[in-house]
């Protein structure tokens, strides 16, 4: 996997399927989602369409 950016304390990389649970947790945090959709949580049955575009195998 190619990193986008790496420093001594941070590695930025593309999302993978292993990140799904963490993304779901963020999507269900009203403090995060208030900046995206007014604070509504995201259902696992109806994931954001963008999720399929950002996740890599």
Nearest residue to 54 (alpha-carbon basis) of 6, 20, 10: 20
**Alpha-carbon gap, residue 54 to 17, rounded angstroms:** 10
Q: What is the mean pLDDT of the chain?
A: 77
Regarding pTM above 0.75, the answer is no
Q: For 12-24, what is each residue's pLDDT tens digit? A: 888 888 888 888 8
């Amino acid at each position: 996997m190619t990193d986008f950016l790496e420093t001594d304390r941070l590695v930025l990389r593309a999302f993978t399927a292993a990140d799904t649970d963490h993304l779901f947790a963020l999507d269900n945090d009203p403090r995060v989602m208030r900046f995206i959709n007014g604070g509504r949580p995201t259902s696992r049955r109806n994931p954001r369409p963008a999720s399929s575009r950002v996740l890599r195998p």
